[in-house]
Structure 1
Amino acid sequence: MADGMLSNGAVREINGSDQSNDVIDIYPLSSYYFGSKEASPFKDETLADRIQRMKFNYAAHGLRTRVEAVILVELFKHPHLLLLQVRNSIFTLPGGRLKPGESDIVGLRRKLSSKLSVNGSDDETEWEVGELLGMWWKPDFETLLYPYLPSNVKKPKECTKLFLVRLPVSRRFIVPKNLKLLAVPLCQIHENHKTYGPIISGVPQLLSKFSFNIIED
């Protein structure tokens, strides 16, 4: 091989990743079963009450970490993102807050099983938690979020981590009765901050490095 020339294998090694990891297999929504279970309790509180609770938790445990899942399905030959809807108005990605000392992967699997499986247990295959797609930070206890940690913030109050979760060809989703599981097209979510908020509306851009392999029935 001449000087300055690289084989395909060498290029792949320099890039530092196998390009096959940049392809997401997306299965039809019809491949999955959807059911319901008992309602989950909600904390009915004002914004002031929530901030006070966050301050108490921060004083006890320090930085609060949330982990959320980006899960894709196919509908009408387009990629759709699975979202939970609370009280017919608030959209969230499946996931939640970690317990003190809990790892990201273990915590996200626990939350997905709690929100999307029978009796809070993973009754089928284990959730395949993949790449960390992005991180959002709260410098203070208010609702303002940044997709980076400002250099002047030494003690952030909350970090939200988004992970890609790859689905198998089939699965059962069992959702609490007071939540709705929706499949929303990525094109509708893109930069739609007003409806979905900054984290969800930024997901399509986070997925821009991937190719979608939509698998037909």
Structure 2
Amino acid sequence: MGDEARVDGENGDVGGRSDRGSVLDIYPLSGYYFGSKEAISFRDETIADRVLRMKSNYAAHGMRTCVEAVVVVELFKHPHVLLLQVRNSTFKLPGGRLRPGESEIEGLGRKLSRKLSVSDSGDEKEWEIGECLGMWWRPDFETLLYPYLPPNVKKPKECTKLFLVKLPVSRKFIVPGNLKLLAVPLCQIHDNSKTYGPIISGIPQLLSKYSFNIVDVE
């Protein structure tokens, strides 16, 4: 027999190894409640203003670190990712910038509570924050984020980390009034950076190591 991979029919194994990877339980969207709360403020600034602000923050605190949540639910028997829509145009993952000295888990819990919960207290214990799925880097202030750190870049200006956040069977999502929380199918996000940007459009690849177990709660 040559080097061909052996497939063991019933088990779906290749060469005796399972190809299912890790199993991620996801629950129906119908099990969640959605409400609204007071709007949050956004900076109204130009790109040049944003670059100046980033340079000032970098001089004071060093590299900026952002944490964002990948939250998956089931709708129409297909996995969907929860995205926030700003001003009916820009799509974002729930999350944001860490405070100086703040841990990643603490900071993501705080950001999730601010964007998705009744209380803004930021209790990270309210959220089951799992593994880091990927990291994106900004080599310079004006450049885009990349899913790797170029070897010639010794002092990156920003790092964005994506964490898998697992949901219980039901919970309340309370979103600021000037944001929309949308469930978007993986097939729509995949390779669609024109609409969703490079980080969000790359999520299906990051989740490809998981087998989705759709839990029937009825």
Is the TM value for this pair above 0.5? yes
Percentage identity across paired residues of the two chains: 78
How far apart are the structure 2 equivalents of 1:70 and 1:23?
A: 15
TM-score, structure 1 as length reference: 0.88
CA contact (8 A) 2:28 2:73 kept: yes
CA contact (8 A) 1:117 1:123 kept: no
Asked if 1:73 corresponds to 2:73, the answer is yes
Cα deviations across residues 142-174 of structure 1 (Å, max 9, x unaligned)?
141110000000000000000000000110000
Q: Which 4+ stretches in 1 moved above 3 angstroms?
A: 121-125
How far apart are the structure 1 equivalents of 2:185 and 2:131?
A: 21
* Correspondence for 1:136: 136
Amino acid at match of 1:177: G
Amino acid at match of 1:213: N
CA contact (8 A) 2:33 2:172 kept: yes
* Correspondence for 2:95: 95
Gaps of 5+ in 2: 1-18
Q: CA deviation at 1:124?
A: 11
CA contact (8 A) 1:139 1:158 kept: yes
* Correspondence for 1:168: 168
Amino acid at match of 1:202: G
* Correspondence for 2:4: none
Amino acid at match of 1:46: T
Amino acid at match of 1:45: E
* Correspondence for 2:50: 50
Matches within 5 A, 1:17-32: 22-32=22-32
Q: CA deviation at 1:22?
A: 1.5
CA, structure 1 residues 119+155, in 2 after alignment: closer, same or farther (shift >3 Å)?
same
Q: CA deviation at 1:212?
A: 0.2
How far apart are the structure 1 equivalents of 2:47 and 2:59?
A: 18
Amino acid at match of 2:167: L
How far apart are the structure 2 equivalents of 1:194 and 1:26?
A: 27
Amino acid at match of 1:40: I
How far apart are the structure 2 equivalents of 1:32 and 1:123?
A: 20
Q: CA deviation at 1:215?
A: 1.1
CA contact (8 A) 1:124 1:171 kept: no
How far apart are the structure 2 equivalents of 1:172 and 1:195?
A: 28
Q: CA deviation at 1:119?
A: 3.1
Amino acid at match of 1:175: V
Matches within 5 A, 1:148-163: 148-163=148-163
How far apart are the structure 2 equivalents of 1:135 and 1:180?
A: 25
* Correspondence for 2:211: 211
Q: CA deviation at 1:122?
A: 6.0
Per the alignment, in what secondary structure is the counterpart of residue 180 of structure 2? strand
Cα deviations across residues 2-60 of structure 1 (Å, max 9, x unaligned)?
xxxxxxxxxxxxxxxxx998111100001000000000001000110011000000000
* Correspondence for 1:62: 62
How far apart are the structure 2 equivalents of 1:123 and 1:42?
A: 23
* Correspondence for 1:113: 113
CA RMSD, 1 decimal: 1.7
How far apart are the structure 2 equivalents of 1:31 and 1:72?
A: 13
Gaps of 5+ in 1: 1-18
Per the alignment, in what secondary structure is the counterpart of residue 142 of structure 1? coil
* Correspondence for 1:39: 39
CA, structure 1 residues 47+124, in 2 after alignment: closer, same or farther (shift >3 Å)?
closer
How far apart are the structure 2 equivalents of 1:30 and 1:206?
A: 25
CA, structure 1 residues 93+35, in 2 after alignment: closer, same or farther (shift >3 Å)?
same
